[in-house]
């Protein structure tokens, strides 16, 4: 495993980490979750990503049980939670959002579900138009000072909103965000590469990137239809299927990447993950998996990064229709 600093902070995260969205508490039950976490930890993964809203808290409960059951040393891994959408089906106004009340209560609930004394990373899952940014920054600062959170950050905030959070922190002597969690993959590049470009130097911002395979699309598994045991076959993720498979040219791009992977003798998933890892602004690539074999295949992406020279990077960009 390779370890990378989370921005300019001193925290070193494994370049590949592991997350619970969709899978934990749905496709992945307790025994498989145990296998996957144990295997990932054995392979050097030190960051497990979660959120209050994943299967309405069930994903955190499951991860917490497994971490406790495996008795992994607490100083050998980091765990996150995210706050915004709530952990119940129809949240009341006080059960969602980024108010001081919900940020604090959601943290306490996540600590309980994950069975830990502190969250290593705590992220605002989306911006909240109904809460002043300074209120959220102050709530995060309080949790950091109380030792309940070590690093806080944002997820899918605009560059302008991230800048506002830093300004609020500076003006009020509060703890500033350390990281952002954006979507980043070969089909979704703009925000990480362009919109956030000034923020890396300005704020030392780290990134914990999500959906590196665009929910599996970039593994090529959907080129000939939707496999019955795949994410896009899950009945409650029809919106995701329509969204991903409805992008007219996504499949054309995946097909165009195939000969590059073949030439390198690697799978499409490995090529796509290695491409994410190649970006030095990426602190960690969060993997998702519903099977152990997927993790086994995906970890090998680390060996592919060194093979991606300038010519190959250009060919990859051309295949997905973007300049390098
Ligand atoms: P990916 O884009 O990598 O998708 C993972 C899924 O792709 C797996 O569950 C599996 O689905 C399939 N897959 C993975 N590897 C392979 C392979 N080698 N061959 C074939 N299929 C494969 O990542 P996620 O979308 O899961 O995102 C990763 C993590 O990021 C999440 O778990 C979550 O922690 C975080 N996240 C954060 C968000 C945010 O808003 N901050 C939003 C979304 C995710 P299957 O087998 O079911 O087809």
Residues within 6 Å of ligand 1 by CB = 19-21, 23, 27, 49, 125, 155-156, 181, 210-216, 219, 221, 230-231, 269, 286-290, 294, 297-298
Ligand 1 atom nearest 213 alpha carbon: 2
pLDDT of residue 136: 98
**Residue 223: is its pLDDT beyond 60?**
yes
> What confidence tens digit (pLDDT) does each residue in 165-214 have?
999 999 999 999 999 999 999 999 999 999 999 999 999 999 999 999 99
List, for residues 57-93, the tens digit of each pLDDT value.
Answer: 999 999 999 999 999 999 999 999 999 999 999 999 9
Question: Per the structure block, which two tokens stand in for 138?
Answer: 């102050």
Q: What is the mean pLDDT of residues 239-252?
A: 89
CA angle 156, 272, 6 (to 5 degrees): 45
Query: What is the predicted pLDDT for the residue at 323?
Result: 58
Which pLDDT tens digit goes with each residue over 16-51?
A: 999 999 999 989 999 999 999 999 999 999 999 999
User: What is the C-alpha separation between 88 and 34, in angstroms, rounded?
Assistant: 25
Homologous superfamily (CATH) of 3-216+277-303 is NADP-dependent oxidoreductase domain (3.20.20.100)
What pLDDT digit, counting tens, does each position of 296-317 carry?
Answer: 999 999 999 999 999 999 999 9
Task: For residue 300, report the distance from its CA to the centre of ligand 1, in Å.
Answer: 16
CA distance linking residue 43 with residue 14, whole number of Å = 10
Q: Which of 13, 18, 20, 21 to mutate to test the pocket of ligand 1 (most atoms within 8 A of CB)?
A: 21
Pocket test for ligand 1, best of 14, 211, 226 (most atoms within 8 A of CB): 211
Distance 165 CA to ligand 1 centre (A): 29
What 3 state SS string does 93-137 have?
HHHCCCCHHHHHHHHHHHHHHHCCCCEEEEEECCCCCCCCHHHHH
Atom 36 of ligand 1, nearest CA residue: 210
237: annotated active-site residue: no
**Beta bridge partner(s), residue 13:** 4
Q: What is the pLDDT of residue 246?
A: 86
The backbone torsions φ and ψ at residue 282, rounded to the nearest 5 degrees and listed phi first, read -85, 115
Residue nearest to atom 44 of ligand 1 (CA): 210
């Amino acid at each position: 495993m390779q370890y990378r600093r989370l921005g300019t902070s001193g925290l070193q995260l494994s370049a590949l980490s592991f997350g619970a969205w969709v899978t934990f508490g749905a496709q992945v039950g307790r025994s498989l979750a145990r296998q996957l976490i144990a295997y990932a930890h054995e392979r050097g993964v030190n960051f497990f990503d979660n959120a209050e809203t994943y299967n309405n808290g069930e994903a955190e409960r499951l991860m917490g049980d497994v971490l406790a059951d495996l008795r992994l040393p607490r100083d050998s891994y980091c765990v996150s939670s995210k706050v915004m959408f709530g952990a119940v089906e129809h949240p009341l106004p006080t059960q969602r959002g980024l108010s001081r009340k919900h940020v604090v209560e959601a943290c306490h609930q996540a600590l309980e579900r994950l069975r830990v004394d502190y969250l290593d990373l705590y992220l605002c899952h989306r911006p909240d138009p109904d809460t002043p940014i300074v209120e959220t920054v102050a709530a995060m600062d309080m949790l950091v000072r109380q030792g309940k959170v070590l690093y806080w950050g944002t997820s899918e905030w605009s560059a302008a909103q991230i800048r506002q959070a830093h300004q609020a922190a500076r003006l009020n002597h509060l703890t500033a965000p350390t990281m952002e969690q954006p979507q980043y993959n070969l089909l979704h590049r703009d925000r990480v590469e362009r919109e956030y470009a000034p923020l890396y130097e300005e704020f030392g911002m780290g990134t914990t990137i999500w959906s590196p395979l665009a929910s599996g699309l970039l593994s090529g598994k959907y080129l000939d239809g939707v496999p019955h045991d795949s994410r896009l076959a899950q009945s409650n993720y029809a919106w995701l299927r329509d969204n991903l498979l409805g992008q007219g040219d996504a499949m054309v791009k995946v097909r165009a990447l195939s000969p590059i992977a073949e030439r390198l003798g690697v799978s499409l998933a490995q090529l796509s993950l290695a491409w994410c890892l190649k970006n030095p602004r990426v602190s960690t690539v969060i993997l998702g998996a519903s099977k152990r074999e997927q993790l086994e295949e995906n970890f090998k992406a680390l060996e592919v990064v060194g093979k991606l020279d300038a010519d190959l990077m250009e060919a990859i960009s051309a295949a997905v229709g973007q300049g390098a």
